Each structure stands twice: as C-alpha cells, then as structure tokens.
Amino acid sequence: MSDLKDLVREKLKDGVDAFLCLKDEEGTLLPALITDADSPELELVEAGGARYPMGKILIDLLREYPGKRFAVLVRGCDERALVELSKLEQVDLDRLVMVGLACTAEEARACGCTRPYPSEIALGEKAEAAPGRETIEEVEALSEAERLRWWKEQFSRCIKCYGCRNVCPMCFCKDCALENPHLVEPGVIPPEFPSFHVIRALDMTGRCVDCGLCEEACPADIPLRSLYRKMQEIMEEKLGYRAGESPDEKSPLSFLGSEQDIEKLEREQ
Amino acid sequence: MVDNGKELSYRLVPSTCVYCGTGCGVLLEVMDGRVTGTLPQKDHPVSWGALCVKGWAVHEFVHSERRLTAPLVRSGGELKETDWDTALAAVAEGLSRVAKEHGPDAVGFFASARCTNEENYLLQKLARAVVGTNNVDHCARL
Amino acid sequence: MAEEKKTTAKGKARAKRVEEKDKVKAGKPESTGGAPVGAVMVVGGGVGGIQASLELANLGYKVYLVDSSPSIGGVMGMLDKTFPTNECSMCILSPKMVEVASNINIEVITLADVLSVEGEPGDMRVRLRIRPRYVDIDKCTGCGDCTAKCPVKIPDPYNAGLDMTRCIRVPFPQAVPGAAVIEGEVCRYINKGKCGNCVKVCQAGAIDFEQKEKEEIYSVGMVIASPGYKPFDASRKTEYGYGVYDNVVTSLEFERILGANGPTQGHVVRPSDGREVKKLAFVQCVGSRDVTVGNGYCSSVCCMYATKQALIAKEHLSSIEPTIFFIDMRAYGKDFEKYYVNAEAKFGVRYVRGLVSGIRERQRTKNLLLRYADEDGCTREEEFDLVVLSIGLEAPCGLKEGLGVEVNGYGFAEADSFLPVLSSKPGVLVCGAAQEPKDIPDTVTQATAAAGMASQALHGARNTLLTRREHPPERDVSGEEPRVGAIICRCGSNIGGFVDVPAVVEYARGLPGVVFAEERLYACSQDAQEWIRQVVDEHKLNRLVVASCTPRTHQPLFRETLQSAGVNKYLFEMANIREHCSWVHMKEPENATRKAQYLVKMAVEKARRLEPLAEGESEVIPRGLVIGGGVAGMNAALNLARSGFQVYLVEKEGELGGLARNIRFNRDGADVQEYLRGLVEAVEREELITVFKGHRVVDVSGFVGQFKTLVRDGEGRETLLEHGAVIVATGGGQYQPAEYRYGEDGHVLTQWELEERIAEKDGSLKEAKRVVMIQCVGSREEERPYCSKVCCTEAVKNALALKELSPSTEVFVLYRDIRTYGFREDLYREAREAGVVFVRFDDDARPEVREVAGALQVRVPDANLGNETVVLNADLVVLSVGVTANPDNAELAPMLKVPRNAEGFFLEAHMKLRPVDFATDGVFVCGLAHAPKSIEESVAQAAAAAARAESVLCKDRIVTEGVVAVVDAERCSGCRICVELCPFEAITYDADRRVAVVNPSLCKGCGTCTAACTAGASRLQGFRSDQIFEQIEAAASAWWD
Amino acid sequence: MAEESATRNEDDIRILAFLCNWCSYAGADLAGVSRLQYPAKVLDVRVMCTGTISPYFVIKAFQEGMDGVLIAGCHIGDCHYLKGNYMTAKRFQVLREALKFLGIEEGRLRLEWVSAAEGEKYAEVIRSFTEEIEKLGPSPLRRKRAEVGA
C-alpha cells in the first residue's frame, strides 16, 4: 500500500525515531517498528488485515527509550487507547505522532464500535459507525434469574487463559486483582462466578475503549466486549464519562469532584 | 525525557508455541535482544489469535537460568555437558544393549506433547519398526 | 515491667513529697530556686477533677488528685446516661478514669479531705486528712472474696442506698483505685474485735487494720477545686413525702434504677412492690428556685436530666407514660431545645406546666396522688405509680473551711464575673458545680480552663516534677507464628446478661491461631489491665483480641495495655459484642451468642494478619493562631501568650472587640466596655501576640504541629503564618429581625439598643410609661430551632436596669419560658419583685405589634389566662433577638477540615467530654463560634481552648498515627490517581522512581486511595484489603461452624 | 454452642455491613447504647472511611455467599475525611448497575448515609434491609454447605 509507505518515510524524515505499524512477513501480518527510511522493510508495511494492541507495545517502547519519538498507525480504537493511557500517565503523547487510519465499512460493520475512525484520518475513508448492542439487548430482555443463568453459562466456558487481560491495551497493572488468591482461587477452572469476570468488568469501567481485542483473543467466545460495553454505557449514563474520547476530561472515578456533583448523582438515582 | 542512548531495537518474531502439539501461532516480542513478551498471531491458521495460559507465558522460560542448553551425559555418577553426536551415540548404544539383553519390550518410548505430531509419528515408528516394541506412551497421560 | 517502673516512679513521688514536707517545715518552697512548684493539687475526683488532672499531666505538671470518697468518678460515675446524646455515662467516663489510673504523673489520694490551704500562687501548701481504708491498695486485686464473706450489710452508696452491699467491697466495678474499702464505723472487727473474715479469705493479704487516720502536707504550685455539689435533701420538702412514701424517689436514685448496672438492672420498677411502672411523674425544681429552702437559684440541669430520664425510662419500658411537672422548661444549651422538642413530639413525654403543691399516698396501692395547679390556675389531682423528685444541686462542703475561698449567699464559691474559675483566693481555682450548678460539658470546659490558668502561673516549672513512662522494649514478633489471645468481656450483665459468654470463650479457643481465651467481668477495669499484661507475658501472645464494647472508646486503653506488655499496640483487634450485639439483640440471646462468636472469629482472622506498625514523629512549631479578635479570641490569645507561647491573632475587622462592643454591662452590673478596653490594651501590649487587624484567613494547609495559614488584608497583601495549633473564635452574629415592625417604627428596639440608651441614661426612657419586651425573636422557631441562651437574662437584666432608672415605667416581658439558669434566677425574682410583669405566650400564639393611631400596640394571647388576648399600648417595644452563627464559618470549615451543625455553628469532637476540641487534631473552638453563650462562658471556653492548644504547643514533637496509607513501589505503575484522589494532599509523585509516595504526617488514614488502586499498590496499614478479605471470609465461613 | 442452637437453618439470610468508623459505626454504637433492637443477621466490618471500600470487597462478600451487602457512611458533607464518601457514592452507582446487568438483584446491595447521631436510623436500616433480603431469599451465588466443606 504505497501511501502508507510514503507516510512512514515522511514521518521518519520529519524526525520521529521509529514508526510502528503492521508488515507482511511471508504472509504473516505482525506489528513492526520501522526505524530507517531506506530499509527494505518499508516495502512490507501494511495498513489493515489484523489488529494488535499498539498501545500496549508503545507503553514498553516509550518507557524503554525515554529519548525517542515514535509515530504509530492508529485506528479509532488505538487512538482512544492511547488517549486514555496518557490520562493514566502510561504513555507520553508529546513523544507520539498518531497517523490515522479509518476502518473500512466492512470492518466497521464487523467490529461494531462507536467510532471506527480516529480524530484525524490520513488513510482510508471514514465509514459509518454501526454500534452493536444485540447481545446487551438480548441480556437486558431477560429476567434477573435468567440473566444470571445466561452469564454463568457464558463464563463457565472460561479456561482462564488470561488472554482478555493480556491483550488489553488498557491493562498495565504490575499486580493484577485477577491473580489475587483472595479474589480468584488459583487452579480453579472455570473461575468462580462472579469474581474473575466481574472484577475485570469493574476495572474496565471508565477505561475500556471498546477495541474488542479481548473478545478476539478469547478462545471460549465469551461475549466480553458486550459486558465491558455495558459498563461504559453505565459509566456514561451515571457519571457522564466515556473513556478515550476527550484528552483533557478524566474519569470521575479518578478524582473526588464537588459536593454538587454528588448531590446531583444522589438526586438522580 | 532524556535519551538513554539505547539503540532502538524491537521486533516481533513469528513462532509456534512449544507447550503442546496443537501448534498455536505466537509472536515473540524481542527488545534489546531479549525475548520480553508474547502476542497471539492473529492470522494463524491453527489458533486464530487465541492462546491458552501457557501459550501467553511461552516467552518466560526462554531466559530461565534453569534451562538446559546442551545435552548432558552421566559418567562416573555425574552429569557432564557434551555434544549431540556423543549424546545420541550414548542413547543408541544404551537402548540397543537393553533390547539385545532383555528383548525389545524391555524398552519404552515416551512421546512429548511439546513435539509436533510429525515428530511423535517418527518416535513411534522408531519404537515399532526399529526397536520392535509397542511400549509407546505420551506425557498427556500423566 | 512497666508496672515496676510505675511503682518506682510512685515511690519517687512519695520520696519527693516527704522531702517537700521537710522543706516546708524549713519554711521554704522546694529547691527550684524560688521558681514555682511544678505540681498541682486537684481537689475532687468527679469528671471535672479527672479532666483537670489529665489536662495538667498533659501540660507537664505532677498532679495530686484528691477525693473524699474511696474512688474517683463522682456523680457522673453514678449516672446511667447523659443528655442530649443519651450516651452511656460510665462508658465515656471509665476510659478517662483508667487513663488517670495509668498515668504515672497523677497520684490519686482517696478518702482525703482538705484541712487548709496556705501560701501564694506557685508555692502553696495543702494539709490533708486521709482516712484509713484498711485495705492496701497496692496489694488488693479487687477479686471480691472478702465481700462474699463479710457479714455486715450496709446500704450501697453507689446505688444511692437502694440496695445493700457489704461493709468491705470495691465501691463499683470501674472504681479507681479498683481496691476494696472497709467502712470503719460499722466493721465488726474494728468495733467489736470479732470477725476478721476478710483477713482470713484475702489471699493477697491486703487487709490492714493497722491503718490510722493521718494528716499530710503537700507542697504544690496551684490548687484546683472541683468538689462538685451536694444533692438537695428531698426530705426537707415534707409536702412531697420523700422518705415517707416508698414510691417517691430522688432523681439520683432513679438514675440508678435506670442503670443497667443498678439495683434493678435497668428495669423500671417500684421500690414498694417491684411492680413495673406505668404512670411516672417527675416533679421539677425540688430544692431549686425555692427561697423557702434557701435555694433561690436554678440548678440548671434538672429540666434536661428529667427529660433524659423520661426518654430512657420509655426506652427500657415502652408502655411507660412519663409526665414532667415543670415551671419553665430550661433547654438552653447546645442542642437541648431539639432534645426537648423531640421528647415531647416523637417520644410522647408529657410536659405539664404547673408546680406540684403536694403528694399523698394511697394506703393500699401505694400509688401517689399529685396535687398541682395547671396552666389555667385551677387545682388538679392525678395518680401515679412512681414519682421522681428532680432534686437540685447544693454547694459542696469544705469550700470555705477547707479551701478557704469566699462563698456567695448560697454557699457556692465566689467567682470573678468574667472568668468564673478565678476564686477569691489567689492560687486556688474553682471549677464545676462548686462555682455554680452546671452540666458536664460546662464542667469539663471550666476544668480545662482551670488547668490552663494553673499552667499560666506555673509554666516556669513545666516538666520539672514529671516522670516519663518508658514502655518496655517492643518484642520482635516478626517471623513468629500468630499467637492470638482472645479476651471476652461480660461487661457485668451488659454482655453476660444476653450473650452466653462461656460459649463464646469456648468457640474462640477453637479458632486457628488462638492460644488463649478467657472471660472477664470488666475487661476495662484497672486490675484487668494488669491481668492482661501477665497473660500476654505467660502465653507469649503476639496478637490480642478483646471482645467487649466499641473500639471507638476502648481501643486506646487496650492498645496502651498491650504496649506496656512489650507488644506493638497495633497487633490488637476488638470485637464489638456489646453495642453491636448484646444491646441490640436482647430479645434473641441464642442469635446474639452466635453473632458474638462470628464477630470474634472475624476479629481473630484479622488479628492473625496484623503487622506491627511504627508511629512517625513530627516537629511542633510552638506558636498558636487565633482566628477572631472578639472576647473569646482575645482571651484565648492572652492565655496562650501568658503560658509563654507566641500567638498570631487574626481579626477580619479593623478593630478588636467583636460582638461584645454592643454590650454595656453584664448581669452583675460590671462594665463590659471597661473590661473590653482592658482586654484590648493587654492584647496590644503583649509582645508575644502579633495582631493582624483587617485580615482574613484565605488558606490553611498542614497538620497538627505544622500549620501554614495564609492571611490577606483589604489591599490583598498576603502573609504566611506558620504555627502548631489553631483556635477558632470567629464569634457569632445577631438575628436581624423583620418582624414586630422593627426597622419601620423607631420605637421598636433590640435589647442592645435599649441597653445603649440605659447606659447613656437616655432621658426618653424616663418618659416611657410602658415598655414591652418580646422574647425568642429569631430563636426556637423553624429556621433557628435552637435557644439563644442569653436573651432571657439580658431582658431581665435590662428590665431591672430600666426600673432602677425610672421606677414609674411599667415593664412587661412577653416570654415562652424564662431561662434564667443558675444564679441568673435571682435577677428574675428581683425583676418580679420590682414589679416587672411577665406574660407567657404559647409557641404557636406569637404576640402582634401594630400601630394604632400613631401609637404602638402589642397584642398577646396570655397562655396563663387560657390564651385570652391581652392588649398593651407601649411607648417602646424591645425585641430580645437571638444569636446567629457567623456566616464566615461556612468558608472556614473546609479550610480547617472541621464540621458545622445544621445551624452553622461549629461542631465539637464530643458533646460531653471534648467540648472545645475538633476531630481534627490541633484545631480548637471557643465562644459563639461553638454555640450561643454568655460572656463569662465564652471567656471560660477561651481559656479551655487555650489550654488544649497549649497541650499541643508544649510538646517538641508529635507522634503520628500508625494507621496510614503506604504505596508499594514494586506494584505502583505511577498512574497518579491516588495523588489526585487524596483529600489531604498527602500523596506526591516521585518522577525519578515513577511511583507515588505517601507523607505519613499528612495522611489521615481514610484509605480512599486504596480502593482506587487496581494494582493494590496503595494499602491502608491496619486495614489492608487482605485483612478485610479475611474478615469477609470469616464472616461467611463462621456460619458453618 | 452455635451448633446446638435450634434456631439456625440453612435458609437464614446473612448480611455483611461495611461501616465507616466516624459516622455509621458510631451510629451503630448509638443504636446499641440506646438499646434499639434489630435482627441479629448482620455482621459488620469497621473501616475508617467508606472511601476505602473497594468494589472487590463487595464482590468478595457475594462470592463468599453473603445474601446482602450494606455500605454505610457519613452523610455527604459530613465525611470525617471531607470527601472520601464522594467516591463511595460514585462507585456504588456503577457497581449496582453492573450487578443488575449480571442478574444479581440490585436490592442485595445497599448504600446508606448514617450519622453518629442516627442510632434509630441505623436500627431502622438494618430492620428494613433484613426484611428486604428475607424477601429476596438466599443469594443465588451462595455455595452449599457441602462445597465449603463444613
């Protein structure tokens, strides 16, 4: 894809030390860090085809190479992740140049996120968002008892691979509640209900950017994304916050706020 | 932030998980020449971007202190490092001696989940066709 | 080990005393080179004396606490509950008593009376007569074996003689000292030489019949007298038949009947037949407001304690129907009015306004017929099961003879009209009811004030006679397996009566980690502390669990005990099986027992995971800040300065003086303005005080010992003040009336405006034929449901002054209740004698002020004439407007991190025992900022606040709590949410290490940061999540045990 | 001892209450001092401030088989730590909705502001909450006696 090549070359010439995007290595799409404008690797760069947790990779890169500046090819979800991570002080946006890639209409439909494009689009055409609420609606239609049964059934498939957490761009804790024996009993598969999945859902509240990598990584097809999506809906409805959207607005769960806010909250409930 | 002068060195190496025979596709994160992490290979025909808890941790043993890096042969009661030819020769000599003295069924072959199906096929072939015993089993039974 | 130290310390103290005596003989004060003696004698061991003693010890002085009875505790120790919070009296007093007992700088001298006091401030000599106890305090364990064997029965003084005890006994369970005493007059051995059972059974060999009455002289710097009061002898009011009719009891006796630890275990039954009481009557003003018995004054507390007793009686027995017969309902204190209103509206206590003229007993039923005149003046008779006489408070003995202070006509100590703790005799301070009848908070305030004044005279000798307690070195328990000791308290019958304590002990023994479990009758008693020390030692305990009452009052005591046993005091956990169990599940003992077991398991499981915590230390800046330059503020500043500390005094206005500038003379005629001038001069002359006039506080940061306060003047110039303590004296306001034509008609004034004219001898007053005063303007109404306390006295005071100025002027006072408490009652009586007419109106029938033909006309429905409207043409209408809270409090409160009540006044830490403290360390309150009060009360409170502030400033370092948050750097990802969340800016981000760091001196230990840390890097010590998880697991699993 | 007691049966409900030290724990103390009676089916955990109550605690309580969880703290504006309870208010909103979505009756989690002076309110809260939980019955997440190996 010629124009991505040009973009990479251009950014590298503009003084970023490296460009993070995908490349096709003998038919395998994988993230690659291009550091040299003239490297033959440049011929292999790819825009789409697969998604990887670029945010997660950048946390390490920015920390490992404190003097370096990076450019990265971002989709809407990657951008949201990086924005939220910067609020959580995990990435330094000043050392980051985001090159926007809009998801194709087909990708957008398949994915169903609320914003399948970044704030600035360098590549591709802005496609209509096709937010998917089917699962949420299905669950909400159920009675409480049925809901519980439904989720228990879903979670009962969990093999505790921890993939949802490992792949999540927003998970950076050095010590994870999911590995706290008080909360998640070691060696028990599937994990007890509600501990594992509810704890993760709660930690995702005001954090999850709806990239869907968790669900993609889940070998048991647990509808994690719908669970976390619902948490974001709750967050937005109750505390008026959506993760990853505005860079200067922080999650209400990360500051005390004013008495008025709380009184309002109390009145509304 | 001040530059720590480190040369940028980061790449992902496509590989296959060695923990079992399934053969899931992994990408090993290599930073500054050290394997630092694992990602599932999205478009891998076997695992399609999913891994189990072992696969996600497959990078962890790479730099382990306790990892064997060369074959060891016991001589005079203690293990000594040696080259593969010597090691394999010792194994072949030992096996054929036992088979000759006590018959083929005195030998057992133990296959590993860490090997590919092809490797396991070859092992049982060796057992049955070369040594002549059906004593073949695999670690998944343990 | 700590004990040894203590006794040797005591020994030292005794040695010193003897030495002093010799010196005294030599006619010279002890060898401090003429400097004052750094010791104070406190006479009277009630709540006042206890408070003063603790305060003084805290301020660095040796204390001798003298009590004429065998134990300290006073009347408060006999009370069941306290108003207006209905808190258990003993529960809040007992920890303080134990604190006295365990403080090596306080020597308790019981059964002692003061014979004489000589000398001058700084060098006083007190002669004591000490009666024999016949029991060696140091040997007696208070086990009670002697009582069991003693053949001589006597009425139990602790239970007001309602039941019998033995000649030898421990006065009461929480007694301090907790040793037995023998009543010499009735002891068979002493009088007949026979018996001696006690000697035989006492294994401690503590009985000592050799003890003789002795006299001793103590050399001290100052004397604080807090002898309390003498209850009025109800039999003097023959018409009430006390002592004749079985079912007529005094309020003090009824207090014991209500007491769970009393003769009937709190069952409200009649003395005559033990039958449950249905109709209960309280007769107010028995021995108060009654010249016929020589007590013209109001006893100040009876209205409230009767209300309290009625409420508690109803709590104990919901079927009971209490009626209170009263003259005026004197609910004048902070939150009293609400208490009274609720009692009537919510709990159905019946209040009848009418004086009971006589009581007759029905022969058969022993019921009682009360004769009284109702509101309409007609005589009625009503039958009751039990009658409680609300007896008044009389002056204690020994004020004049022993202490040698002047007394007033009623026998109470003569007091300075602006600072009542100053007696007529230099070197002797008087506090509490001995100066004027008063409630517990006012007594505690005065006691603290007295301690402060004593320190003012003696601060040159601060710490000179102090012994410091050293705790034994802390045992290193790291690596040890948890060895938990579980102590289950019966709290007499409070727990034991409803929870199967042995079953709980048995259960505790079975819990993992528990190597010792035993029960105690009173785990908080003094001897129990010693026992715990031994137990910890013998069984090598490294964790302690006490299942008793609430940690909020008793945890400090047990922690201290644990520490004195050489174990880190944070290795302690409490299970609250009283407030949260036995008392709230009285009707389901089985479930209560099981719940108690679960609570114990939860405590044990947490205890097993507790770790020793270290307490930090922080510097103290020895300077004070006083906010507000009114009478309270200036006094507070002066007191601090005179105790040797530098003070910043911030006043928002251009001049000092505050509200008092509007008051011309006080109730005894003293010139307030002259006093104020003197005060302002003194403040401005004092080098140690820096006054910031026209300045406002704009920001406060820091913490106890190290505050930083930014003040700004009118031009916006800012000054940063660094200080160790803050005294809030922001004063109050005056209600601005819109009613009663005020502001429309020049002949409608406020009391202050009238006072001004009186003081100026305004001629127009002489012309005035009739002046009508209206009470409760802006008080005791929907918006301001509180009583402003001062208006009644002010009105009566001005009415009298007016009469004096022009006797021909008619003065009417329209009121709801006249609340001239204490000696103010005299003014009220004088006013009536002087012809001032008092017209009462009902709460819902306020007077009207109209203009009729250019003249003022007041119409009021006279409640004493069946609300028949009385029409008064008036030349002047004077409004007694209420006191309001200072609106500035609203912005100051968050800066200082202190709360306000619904009315906007500051809310103290504890209504009864911490009247000038805030929950926030190092911040104190006094004057109208706290609640409406008179000048002399403000001055006393100011002195108290100063004393409390002094107790911070006089230390060079402050120990900070161990329960603080810590951030585990290993786990921290540096997201900085905790930095943002901390309400006290205690967390900062270390950019180099990329982790958050907590400042333990700023951390208040709320743990808000911990819940926000998904990585669990931030932890609250003592409340770590793993410890709480264990409690949760215990709670759940206990179910299956 | 407990075992012999006749009154206990498997379906008795149990409630865990998290109380802040300064207001609600004191309120509970006052309820006790005032001898106000309420059902003995609640066990309480004292914390310094409700702000320190992690959603994990609540999940843990349900996980362990508690039938109801009460969080009680100072009224907004009365927090001894000024604003700690703000976080409680926010977290509670989210937590309750989450539980609801998962099919755990929202009535099983309750937040109440109880001051140190509100002994009566505390008793009333426990009474009504106990009643509500009794209506809902044992939690569906409860493990059977066998599972806890008792």
Q: Which of C584, C593, C1040 sits opposite D148 (nearest CB)?
A: C1040
- B133 and B100 in a single domain? The answer is yes
Q: Do D94 and A205 touch (CB under 8 A)?
A: yes
- B85 and B135 in a single domain? The answer is yes
DSSP D47-103: ES-GGG--HHHHHHHHHTT-SEEEEEEPPTTT-TTSSHHHHHHHHHHHHHHHHHHHT
- B56 and B107 in a single domain? The answer is no
Total count of residues recorded for chain A = 269
- B45 and B103 in a single domain? The answer is no
Type of residue at A140: E
pTM for the model? 0.72
Using alpha carbons, list the distances in angstroms from residue C692 to C890, C896, C938. 21, 19, 21
Q: How many CB atoms lie within 10 A of CB C988?
A: 14
Tokens of C175: 């007694």
Whether residue A136 lies within 8 A of chain C, CB to CB, comes out as no
Pick from C350, C919, A16, A47: which is nearest to D23 by CA?
A: C919
Chains with 3+ CB–CB pairs under 8 A to A are B, C, D
CA angle C1034, C1036, C1038 (to 5 degrees): 60
Instruction: Tell me what percent of the residues of chain C surpass a pLDDT of 90.
Output: 79
pLDDT value of residue C16: 41
Per DSSP, helices labelled H in C913-954 are 935-953
CATH number at residue B33: 3.30.200.210
- B134 and B86 in a single domain? The answer is yes
Q: Do C579 and D29 touch (CB under 8 A)?
A: yes
pLDDT value of residue B140: 67
- B22 and B45 in a single domain? The answer is yes
Domain boundary among B32, B61, B90: B61
pLDDT value of residue D144: 63
Q: Which residue is closest to A236 within chain D, CA to CA?
A: D94
Domain boundary among B19, B39, B61: B61
- B83 and B135 in a single domain? The answer is yes
3-state secondary structure of D15: strand
Q: Which of A144, A201, A266 sits opposite D105 (nearest CB)?
A: A144
> Whole domain around residue B39: which residue ranges?
2-61
Domain boundary among B18, B37, B61: B61
Q: Do D86 and A259 touch (CB under 8 A)?
A: yes
Residue C806, Cβ density class (10 Å: 0-12 exposed, 13-18 middle, ≥19 buried): middle
Q: Which residue is closest to C1032 within chain A, CA to CA?
A: A182
Whether residue B55 lies within 8 A of chain A, CB to CB, comes out as yes
- B56 and B77 in a single domain? The answer is no
Q: Are C312 and C411 in contact (CB under 8 A)?
A: no
pLDDT value of residue B2: 66
The ipTM of this complex is: 0.92
The answer on pLDDT for D1 being more than 50 is no
Closest approach of chain C CAs to the CA of A121, in angstroms? 29
Pick from C270, C328, C340: which is nearest to C300 by CA?
A: C328
pLDDT value of residue C864: 86
Whether residue A248 lies within 8 A of chain C, CB to CB, comes out as no
Q: Do A194 and D60 touch (CB under 8 A)?
A: no
Q: Do C1007 and D48 touch (CB under 8 A)?
A: yes
Whether residue A250 lies within 8 A of chain D, CB to CB, comes out as no
Which of C579, C906, C984, C987 should be substituted to probe chain D, the one whose Cβ sees the most D Cβ atoms within 10 Å?
Answer: C579
Q: Is the peptide bond before C322 cis (omega within 30 degrees of 0)?
A: no
Tens digits of pLDDT across chain A (269 residues) = 448 999 999 999 999 999 999 999 988 999 999 999 888 999 999 988 899 999 999 999 999 999 999 999 999 999 999 999 999 999 999 999 999 999 999 999 998 898 999 999 999 999 999 888 999 999 999 999 999 999 999 999 999 999 999 999 999 999 999 999 999 999 899 998 888 999 999 999 999 999 999 999 999 999 999 999 999 999 999 999 999 999 989 999 999 988 888 988 888 87
Q: Which helix or strand (DSSP H or E) is residue C370 part of?
A: strand C368-373
**Residues of chain C falling short of pLDDT 50:** 1-32
Tokens of C433: 């009811």
- B45 and B85 in a single domain? The answer is no
pLDDT in tens, A17-29: 999 999 999 889 9
Per DSSP, which regions of C424-535 are E strands? 428-430, 484-489, 514-520
Q: Do A65 and B6 touch (CB under 8 A)?
A: yes
Closest approach of chain C CAs to the CA of A182, in angstroms? 7
Whether residue A145 lies within 8 A of chain C, CB to CB, comes out as no
Closest approach of chain C CAs to the CA of D77, in angstroms? 8
Can you tell me which residue has the tokens 């750094």? C38
**Mean pLDDT of the D90-118 span:** 92
- B76 and B116 in a single domain? The answer is yes
Whether chain C lies against chain D with 3 or more Cβ pairs closer than 8 A is yes
**Residue C911: CA atoms inside 13 Å, Cβ hemisphere, count?**
16
- B19 and B53 in a single domain? The answer is yes
Q: Are C602 and C575 in contact (CB under 8 A)?
A: yes
Type of residue at D52: T
**Residue C772: CA atoms inside 13 Å, Cβ hemisphere, count?**
23
Q: Are C434 and C44 in contact (CB under 8 A)?
A: yes
Mention every residue, 6+ apart, whose C-beta is less than 8 A from residue C440. C47, C76, C82, C912, C913
Which letter does DSSP use for residue B131 in this model?
A: I
Closest approach of chain B CAs to the CA of A46, in angstroms? 14
Split into its structural domains, chain B has a count of 2
Q: Is residue B67 part of a domain?
A: no
Q: Do A234 and D98 touch (CB under 8 A)?
A: yes
CA gap C500, C521 in Å, rounded: 13
Query: Which domains, from first to last, does chain D contain?
Result: 11-141 (3.40.50)
- B52 and B88 in a single domain? The answer is no
Q: Is residue B66 part of a domain?
A: no
Q: Do B56 and A65 touch (CB under 8 A)?
A: no
CA gap C723, C704 in Å, rounded: 9
Give the end-to-end CA distance of chain D in Å, rounded to a whole number.
Answer: 16
Query: Which domains, from first to last, does chain C contain?
Result: 31-131+213-229+395-466 (3.50.50.60), 132-211 (3.30.70), 231-394 (3.50.50.60), 484-608 (3.40.50), 619-731+886-953 (3.50.50.60), 734-884 (3.50.50.60), 965-1020 (3.30.70.20)
